[in-house]
Chain A
Amino acid sequence: QSVLTQPPSASGTPGQRVTISCSGSRSNIGSNSVYWYQQLPGTAPKVLIYSNNQRPSGVPERFSGSKSGTSASLAISGLRSEDEADYYCATWDDNLSGPHVIFGGGTKLTVL
């Protein structure tokens, strides 16, 4: 059971806009930046969004992130077949030993 809650699946047709949600709490999303990772089949995760809504160089403008309170979302517009992947939200959390990253359970995006 992940601390951050994501829908297990999402889908859309080419050209559509799809949104993936990520729900947390005041101690994690409510207090820290949110990141989104894209994991294509058989590959390592890659940063898609950092600091809630910033895109690293090379990530298309079709990908956008937002955060409000203890929730965040990833939007993909102009859906393309190559966007079919697993998407994970992440943020920082704190335990007795110090801050560490926590992940959502992941959302499998299918392009129909």
Chain B
Amino acid sequence: EVLLVESGGGLVKPGGSLRLSCAASEFTFSNYNMDWVRQAPGKGLEWVSSISSTSSFINYADSVKGRFTISRDNAKNSLYLHMNSLRVDDTAVYFCARENSFYGLDVWGQGTTVTVSS
């Protein structure tokens, strides 16, 4: 079964840092662009960042630019999101998703919760 599993969420104080991971299995990870999408409590979906299959192209939402860094390790079938200078409004469930130019974001992980609070 094609699977994405996120980890690394938790409670962090404002200004702190966290690294999220997303482990992919049962598909050729290196063939796909990948995205991070977040959902604040009771709110809608917000695209956060995307990275191309070879890491050549990287893009960020304005709300996280300069604070978050997306990366991937194709040898380990893993996607990462390094989050620095965290703010209360970064509190959300963070999903990793596989990007398919035809099918859209066609595979999603179950999400990992990040809570930024003092």
Contacts and interface: CB of A to CB of B under 8 A. Distances in A.
B44 A105 contact: yes
A103 interface: yes
A27 B110 CA distance: 31
Contact of B108 (A44, A50, A102): A44
B27 interface: no
Contacts of B37: 101, 103
Nearest to B61: A100
Q: Interface of chain A, helix or strand or loop or mixed?
A: strand
Q: Interface of chain B, helix or strand or loop or mixed?
A: strand
Nearest to A104: B44
Nearest to B106: A47
Contacts of B106: 47, 50, 56
A90 interface: yes
A56 B103 CA distance: 8
Contacts of A46: 108
Interface of B: 35, 37, 44-47, 50, 57-61, 95, 99, 102-106, 108-111
Interface of A: 2, 33, 35, 37, 39, 43-47, 50-51, 56, 86, 88, 90, 95, 97-106
5 contacts: A46-B108, A51-B103, A90-B104, A98-B57, A103-B45
